[in-house]
Amino acid sequence: MTRILPHRTRRLACRALALPLALAAVGTRAAGRGAVPGAAPDAPALERRVKAAFLYKFLGYAEFPATAFSEAGGALQIVVVGSDDMAVELARIAAGRAVAGRQIAVRQVRADEPLPPAHLLFVAGADVERAARVLRAAPGAFLTVTECDGGLRLGSVINFRIIDERVRFDVSLDAADRKNVKLSSRLLTVANRVQKGGS
């Protein structure tokens, strides 16, 4: 088990964290497809990639209502708001892959652009205001993911957090219910916090 030592610098920690996370995310690909061997990526980039991998994996643990697809076998729409890197990374991960037999389509949208319908909507950035505004603007989005403090209160289903220098996430089941998205209990077992009811 890789132990995280609290007195280490964030950089080192991130660096140490980077390789396993990357490997865990895209293990089946040729080693270090997203990671250049011998040149350690900087921490923010690593975090992007980890979160991108998580986003991709969330799809496997979520069940969307039948009305979510205009046609049977239609692709899963991933919309990334406010992060080109993330969109690129996601597109790279999802390329050629399918979840539950569905192709994955990744679109990158700026914050002021109108939002297309999305099965998974990721709002990047710690800006709470912006996140709240985007979420309000996208009532049709099913699985909404944010990475700002109190994201769940804004109505997002999953909110990324950094705990002990590691990427974790909180889940709001109420929000999922509202969005009519069923989240696998197996996902919940690895969630940092599962918000349910008034809590």
Partner 1 sequence: MSMHDTGSVRSKLILMAVATTIVALVTAAVAMLVVDARSAQQIWVDDLSTQADIIANVAAPAVSFNDSASAARNLAVLRVRPQIVAGAIYTNSGQRFATWSRDGAAKDGSIPLRPEAAGHRIERGELTVFRPIVENGEPLGTVYLRSRYGLFDRVMSYGAILGVVMLGALVIAALVASRLQASITRPLQAVTQVARQVMLRRDFTLRVPGREKGEIGVLVEAFNDMLAEIGRRSDALQAANRTLEHEMTVRERAEQALIVADRRKDEFLATLAHELRNPLAPIRTGLDILRIRSGDAQATQRATDIMERQLRQMVRLVDDLLDVSRINTGKFTIKMGRVELKAVVNDALEVVRSYIELHGHELVIDLPDRPVFLHGDATRLAQILSNLLNNAAKYTNRGGRVVLSATVEDKTLVLEVADTGIGLAPDMLDSVFEMFVQVDSTLERVNAGLGVGLSLARKLVELHGGAIQAYSEGLGQGSRFVVRLPIVVDPEPITKPTPAAFISTESYRILLADDNVDFVNSIGALLTAMGHSVVITHNGPDALAAAARFCPDYAFLDIGLPHMSGYDLARGIRNLPTGAMTVLIAVTGWGQEKDRQLAFEAGFDHHMVKPVRFEQIEEILGNRSIIKKLRT
Which positions lie near partner 1, rule CB under 8 A? 1-2, 20-21, 23-24, 27-28, 31, 50, 54, 57, 60-61, 99, 166-169, 184, 186-187, 189-190
Query: In the chain, which ranges are E strands?
Result: 62-63, 76-81, 98-99, 102-109, 120-123, 143-146, 158-163, 166-172, 182-183, 193-195
Half-sphere exposure of 85 (CA within 13 A, CB side): 13
Which residue, 59 or 132, is less far from partner 1 as judged by CB? 59
Which residue, 59 or 115, is less far from partner 1 as judged by CB? 59
Angular region, 166: left φ>0, alpha ψ -120 to 50, beta rest: beta
Q: Nearest distance from residue 136's CB to partner 1, in Å? A: 28
Which residue, 142 or 169, is less far from partner 1 as judged by CB? 169
Q: Nearest distance from residue 119's CB to partner 1, in Å? A: 16
Q: Nearest distance from residue 26's CB to partner 1, in Å? A: 9
Q: Nearest distance from residue 99's CB to partner 1, in Å? A: 7
Angular region, 101: left φ>0, alpha ψ -120 to 50, beta rest: left
Which residue, 44 or 60, is less far from partner 1 as judged by CB? 60
Which residue, 4 or 84, is less far from partner 1 as judged by CB? 4
Q: Nearest distance from residue 6's CB to partner 1, in Å? A: 16
Please, which residues have CB within 8 angstroms of residue 65's CB and are 6 or more apart in sequence?
142, 180, 181
